């Protein structure tokens, strides 16, 4: 899968304002709405799906990465965003450490392939310590895309 079909400069947020897991999820969802990837009138439905998924099991992984995601028929196709919070957020990660990088995906309930491929590809890229260092220092969304594309 080419993640750059779904991930563009308007779906990358370099400085999350949020301080809590629910705030991060809502702020990233709003980025997807502002980018036209999710209809504004579907916000409540998509947010409920994201929070329900998070309630089942935290999407805070290891190594500073969190992958909030959900499947819902409120979207017609995969929508994805990446965000960074240099100060970190407690996302109930598996390793107990704060999360700094967030990858959000929302996809139709009827399609699992693109959703899983996207998460796997972005996770592979972000699991590289050198890439994380470069992404933490990136000054623009375009630079984030360039760093991720090189990997």
Active site residues: 69
H or E element: which one contains 84? strand 79-89
Matching residue, tokens 């998070």: 54
Helix (H, G, I), strand (E, B) or coil at 105: strand
Residues 6+ apart with CB under 8 A from 147: 131, 134, 135, 138
Contact indicator for 138, 102 with CB cutoff of 8 Å: no
The residues that bridge with 83 in the sheet, in sequence order, are 13, 102
Nearest to 48 by CA among 77, 25, 82: 25
The residues that bridge with 66 in the sheet, in sequence order, are 60, 102
């Amino acid at each position: 899968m080419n993640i750059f079909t779904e991930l563009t400069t308007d779906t990358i947020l370099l400085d999350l304002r949020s301080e809590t897991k629910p705030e991060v999820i809502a702020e990233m969802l709003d980025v997807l709405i502002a980018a036209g990837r999710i209809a504004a009138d579907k916000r409540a439905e998509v947010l409920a799906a994201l929070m329900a998924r998070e309630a089942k099991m935290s999407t805070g992984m290891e190594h500073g990465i969190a992958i909030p995601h959900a499947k819902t028929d409120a979207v017609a196709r995969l929508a994805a965003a990446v965000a960074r919070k240099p100060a970190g957020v407690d996302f109930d990660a598996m390793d107990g450490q704060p999360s700094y990088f967030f990858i959000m995906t929302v996809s139709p309930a009827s399609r699992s392939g693109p959703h899983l491929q996207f998460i796997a590809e972005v996770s592979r890229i972000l699991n590289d310590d050198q890439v994380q260092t470069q992404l933490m220092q990136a000054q623009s969304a375009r630079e984030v895309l360039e760093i991720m594309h090189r990997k």
